[in-house]
Amino acid sequence: MPHAGDVRWVPAPKAVVQSDLFIVRCLDNILSLIFKEEGFSMAWAIDEFEKTVSTELDFREEAQHADRCRAFFRAHRGSGKLRGGRIVVPGIHHDLTTQRVLVMDFSRGLPIARLTAAVRKCREGGTTELTWEEERAAEAAPEAARLLAEAFGAMCFSEGFLHCDPHPGNLLVELPQAAEAAASSVRLVILDHGLYCELSNDRRQAMCELWEAMILQDSNQLISSSHRLGIDEATAELLPLYFTNRSMSTYAGLGQPITLEEKDRLKQQLLESGVLPEGGGSVAMAGLALLADRLPADFLMVMRTMHLVAALHRDLGGTAAERFACYAAAASHGRWERTGWMNAWFQPRLFHLRWSLKEAGMKLHAPHAGREHFSIARCLAELGNQRGEKAAADALHSSAGLAGHSSAVRCVPDLLGT
C-alpha cells in the first residue's frame, strides 16, 4: 500500500494523446500493408483527429464553443420547432473554468439512449411491459427526433458552426414536467462542445446550394456548388447516394425505396467511378476510405456528423424522409436568410413548392413493386463479395478442372459466407 506521502507521476493529457496518435498511425500503416489490395487507409481520419484534438484538450475553447452555440439558438428565427428555448446548451461559469476544468450549469434530462431503448422495447414487445417512465420516453421520442434533425440542420446550414460529436452520451432530453403536458414542451440538451467544424460563409452557402440541388435533382447546381467546395465532378455525382440514398435521375421520392434495376445501375456507377478498389477488395470501408480521399476535411466532418445524427434519428423512430425534409428546410432557409427579408421569406417557400411538385410527379412514375432501400455501404460490400465470388470460382475452375460443373461453382457463395 502506498504511504500518504507518496507522490505518483501522472502523464499530462497532451502527452498521452501524442503517444496514442503515434500508436494509431503505426497500426494504420500495418493495416494498409495487410489490406493493400483493398486500398484500406484511415490516414485521412487520423489527420483530422490530430487537428481537432488540441482544442478538446483546452476546456476554455469548449466554453467558447458552448457560448456561441447557445447564442445561436437563442437568436435563431428559422422555421420549425427550434424557437422558445427548445434547444438547451448549459451555461458556463467562466470564473471557475480553466484549461483543465470546465464548470457549467446542471441540466436535468434523460440520456437520449433511454428514449431509443424505450422505442426499441415498443417495437419488440408492444407497450404492455413498459414502465411509466418508458412510456413517457417512447411518447417523447418522435418529438426528440424532430428536434435533433432540425437542430443539427440549423447549425450546419444557418450558422456554419456544427457540433461534430452527437453521440448518445452528449445528448439529453428534458421531458414535460407533467405526464399530460404536450409533446411540444420536450427540450433537447446538447453537451460536450469540444469538437466543432466551422464553415466559411461561402462554403456554408455552397453547402446549402448543394443540398437544395440534391433535393430538386438539379445537376447543374450540384456541379457548381461542388466546385465551390473543392469537389470534382465525378465525386459530386456520388454525393446524392451518400446524403439522400438516391441518384440525381431516380424517380423514387425522397427517402423512398428505389427499383432493383436502378440499384444495379448505381452499382455500376460505383464501379466506373473507381470507388471500389481495383484489387477486388470485399471490405466496404475500403471503398468509403477511397472516396474520403477525394473530399475536403470540413466536408468529411459534416458527412460524419450527419451519419451520427441519422443513426440516432432512426433509433428514435424517425424516418429518412422526415430527416431529409428537416435538412432541406434548413438548407433553403440558410441559403437566403442573409440576403434581405424579401428573399428570406419568399425563396424558401418557392423551394418548398418546387420540391412538393417534384415529389408529386415522382408518384406518377414506376410502380412500387420490386423496390428496396439503397445503402451505398451495403452496395460496396455486395460488389466486393461478387468480385470475391468470381475470383474464388475462377480459382476452382483452373485448379480442379471444374469448368463444366456448374453445381460446384454455385456452392462458392455459401463457402464465402454470403
For residue range 8-42, list pLDDT tens digits in order. Answer: 554 566 666 677 777 888 887 887 777 666 566 66
The mean pLDDT of 262-282, rounded to a whole number, is: 71
Q: Give tens-digit pLDDT for 210-247.
A: 999 999 999 999 999 999 999 999 889 889 988 998 88
Does the pLDDT of residue 147 top 60, yes or no? yes
Which stretch of 90-104, 159-173, 264-278, 312-326 has the lowest confidence by average pLDDT? 264-278
d(CA 139, CA 129): 15
Confidence of residue 410 (pLDDT cuts 50, 70, 90): very low
Question: Cell for 201?
Answer: 460563409
Backbone angles phi, psi at 314, to 5 degrees: -65, -40
- Res. 417: pLDDT tops 50: no
Query: Residue 360 has which C-alpha cell?
Result: 408529386
Q: Distance (Å, rounded) from C-alpha 230 to C-alpha 253?
A: 28
Query: What's the rounded mean pLDDT across residues 244-270?
Result: 85
**Among 68-82, 283-297, 304-318, the least confident range:** 283-297
Q: Mean pLDDT across the chain, nearest whole number?
A: 81
C-beta neighbour count of 390 within 10 angstroms: 13
What is the per-residue pLDDT across 305-358, written as a single tens digit (0 to 9) for each?
999 999 999 999 999 999 999 999 999 999 999 898 899 899 999 999 999 998
Of 148 and 382, the one with more pLDDT: 148
pTM exceeds 0.85, yes or no: no
Residue with the bigger pLDDT between 22 and 366: it is 22
pLDDT at 54: 67
Strand partners, 189: 88, 172
Out of 14-28, 92-106, 131-145, pick the least confident: 14-28
Dig out the grid coordinates for 327 from the structure: 435538412
Q: Which amino acid is at 276?
A: L
Nearest to 150 by CA among 323, 294, 321: 323
Identify the band that residue 411 occupies on the pLDDT scale cut at 50, 70 and 90. very low
Q: In which band, very low, low, confident or very high, does the pLDDT at 391 lie, cut at 50, 70 and 90?
A: low
For 417, phi then psi, to 5°, come to: 80, 25
Of 28-32, 190-194, 411-415, give the lowest mean pLDDT range: 411-415
Spatial CA neighbour of 97 closest among 121, 71, 143, 65? 65
**More reliable by pLDDT, 71 or 18:** 71
**All residues at 6 or more sequence positions from 36 whose CB lies less than 8 Å from its CB, including other chains:** 279
